[in-house]
Amino acid sequence: MDAVLDTDWAAHWRGLVEARQALRAERAPGGDPWAVRAGDFARQVVIPRDWFMSVLEPWLRPTATLIDVGSGPGRYAAPLARRLDWVTAVEPSEPMRDRMPPADNLTVIGSSWEDAEPVPADLVICVHVLYGVADPVPFLEKLERSARERVFVVMRDSPHTIAGEVLGRLLAGSRPREPWLRDLLLLLRQLGIRPDLRLETYESTYRFASMEVAVEQCRHHVGPAWDEARGRAWLEANLRLDEDGSVRYDGGELTSGVLHWTPRT
């Protein structure tokens, strides 16, 4: 048995996603796992030297179009609309879509990528979305069909440093990991795709509107292993109050990366 060549990387991916799904005790409110995080997610802004923007830079021009798959509140879609002819954001979570800044050249499709029917664009990006997609092959094939020039997929390639995940590992002893970028590389190679790779290691910081919001989000993230007393005590010891009344968690070093390739056909 050859550990790389004889493994079905799509089945391996599904196993990782299903093990994570089993951690959730209950369905998220309204069935949308992102509803509780949308407000804090929107607070995060793209800094001018954002590493992924620098990877995109050679492809950006005023005549190009782009689809942002799983755009969230528009962390990339909004600044990219200022650099491109047209941006189509695909985002299933209504609270996330509600926080998207409007722009004349930005269309928002309110559905999952699997159900969306966007017209193809020059560029397709998909940033930190694939972790919960159990069946990645049709998802990736659709990214490829929808791009005329280049597909970019960003994922983490080290343990997530968000407070709920760190706390979850502490309270449960261990947690199954999510799919990482290296799993995607092996899956893309299995599909016959030869992507370029760029990895980036950076300091991670997460903001919450208040301590109560942090507790609620972490309770939801940790699932059945949540312990109210230990969870609160850990958050009170590890979150710092900012001047505007919000709290922040410095998660330390995180490695993420992008795999990007020219669509076949």
Ligand X SMILES: C[S@@+](CC[C@H](N)C(=O)[O-])C[C@H]1O[C@@H](n2cnc3c(N)ncnc32)[C@H](O)[C@@H]1O
**Of 2 and 209, which CB lies nearer to ligand X in the complex structure?**
209
The footprint of ligand X on this chain (CB under 6 A) covers a number of residues equal to 19
Closest distance to ligand X from the beta carbon of 172 (Å): 22
Residues numbered 83-142 forming contacts with ligand X, rule: CB under 6 A: 90-93, 96, 112-114, 127-129, 132-133
Q: Does 42 bind ligand X (CB under 6 A)?
A: no
Separation CA 65–CA 105 (nearest Å): 10
Choose among 136, 125, 74, 82: nearest CA to 104. 82
Q: Does 164 bind ligand X (CB under 6 A)?
A: no
Among 10, 69, 123, 124, binds ligand X (CB under 6 A): 69
Q: Looking at the DSSP assignment, which residues form a beta bridge with residue 154?
A: 127, 258
Place of tokens 């369905």: 27
* Binding-residue pattern over the window 188 to 227 for ligand X, x denoting contact by CB under 6 A: ----------------------------------------
**Of 156 and 175, which CB lies nearer to ligand X in the complex structure?**
156
Q: Does 34 bind ligand X (CB under 6 A)?
A: yes
DSSP 3-state of 117: coil
- Please spell the DSSP secondary structure of 218-239, one letter per residue: HHHHHGGG--HHHHHHHHHHH-
Closest distance to ligand X from the beta carbon of 200 (Å): 14
- Please spell the DSSP secondary structure of 123-144, one letter per residue: EEEEES-GGG-S-HHHHHHHHH
Neighbours of 138 (CB within 10 A): 11
DSSP 3-state of 50: coil
Closest distance to ligand X from the beta carbon of 74 (Å): 8
Does residue 204 contact residue 254 with C-beta atoms inside 8 Å?
yes
In eight-state DSSP terms, residue 99 is: T
Among 72, 223, 231, 257, binds ligand X (CB under 6 A): 72
Which positions touch ligand X (CB under 6 A)? 34, 69-72, 75, 90-93, 96, 112-114, 127-129, 132-133
